[in-house]
Each structure stands twice: as structure tokens, then as C-alpha cells.
């Protein structure tokens, strides 16, 4: 009996994980990919807040639970960003800074007309 339950439960969990990974893989936006990757944290948070609301009707426990899961969601997305996107972001920022510096340098090198040297049109 335990083996049948374990096999069925394992198959359901395995299928759910494959569906979740496929759901993440089909998007092209990095922001949406991070949101979908961390979606189980949000889902768990919603369940946790619902349970906290049942246990404490003053909503104090629900607020602290929601705040904790909001922090966990932020932590999940920040960790993914650091792992996969931070290096590219830093390279792009350095490239943009170098480009802006080149523009500023070119502007400084341009000769600016002096007030007395402007030719008068006839």
C-alpha cells in the first residue's frame, strides 16, 4: 500500500515539477522568468496568510506572515538576478559609462568659438 501511494505521489510531484519548469522556460522576458521561478513562494505565502487569518482574526498574524513571504519572494528574485543577470548588468553599465565618457571627451575637445572671433555675415 505504501509503495503504490509513494509511486503515485512521486509521479504527481514529478509531473508538477516538469510542468513548472516548462512554464518557466516558455517565456523570453528575464523579469517574467524570475517571477515564475519564485511563484511557488508566492503561492505558499497565500496559503500561509489564509491559515494565519483563520488562526488569528485580528489580522496581526496575517500581516506579519504576508510581510515574511513578501521578503522571501524578494529574496528569491534577488538571488536569481544575482546568479544569472548581475554580470551582464555590470558589463552593460560599464559599457554605457565608457560610451558616455567618450561623448563627454569629444565635447571637451571640440573648439568652442570665442566671443570676439565670430565672423559677421554681410
Q: Are 52 and 69 in contact (CB under 8 A)?
A: no
Pair (53, 82) in one structural domain: yes
pLDDT averaged over every residue in the chain: 87
Pair (49, 87) in one structural domain: yes
Pair (51, 77) in one structural domain: yes
The band of 115, judged by pLDDT with boundaries at 50, 70 and 90, is: low
Pair (7, 63) in one structural domain: no
pLDDT in the model for residue 120 = 55
How many separate domains does the chain show?
2
Note whether residue 9 is domain-resident.
yes
User: Could you read off the pLDDT of 54-75 as tens digits, one per residue?
Assistant: 988 888 888 999 999 999 999 9
Total residue count of the chain as it appears in this document: 122
Note whether residue 113 is domain-resident.
no
Domain that holds residue 18: 1-28
Does residue 117 carry a pLDDT above 70?
no
pTM above 0.75, yes or no: no
User: Could you read off the pLDDT of 40-57 as tens digits, one per residue?
Assistant: 999 999 999 999 999 888
**What is the number of H-type helices and E-type strands within the chain?**
5, 0
Amino acid at each position: 500500500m505504501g509503495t503504490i501511494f509513494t509511486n503515485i505521489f512521486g509521479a504527481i510531484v514529478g509531473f508538477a515539477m516538469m510542468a513548472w519548469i516548462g512554464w518557466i522556460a516558455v517565456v523570453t522576458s528575464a523579469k517574467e522568468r524570475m517571477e515564475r521561478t519564485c511563484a511557488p513562494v508566492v503561492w505558499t505565502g497565500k496559503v500561509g496568510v489564509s491559515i494565519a487569518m483563520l488562526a488569528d482574526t485580528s489580522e496581526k498574524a496575517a500581516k506579519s506572515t504576508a510581510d515574511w513571504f513578501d521578503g522571501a519572494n524578494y529574496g528569491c528574485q534577488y538571488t536569481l538576478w544575482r546568479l544569472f543577470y548581475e554580470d551582464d548588468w555590470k558589463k552593460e553599465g560599464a559599457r554605457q559609462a565608457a560610451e558616455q565618457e567618450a561623448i563627454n571627451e569629444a565635447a571637451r575637445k571640440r573648439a568652442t568659438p570665442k566671443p570676439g572671433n565670430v565672423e559677421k555675415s554681410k
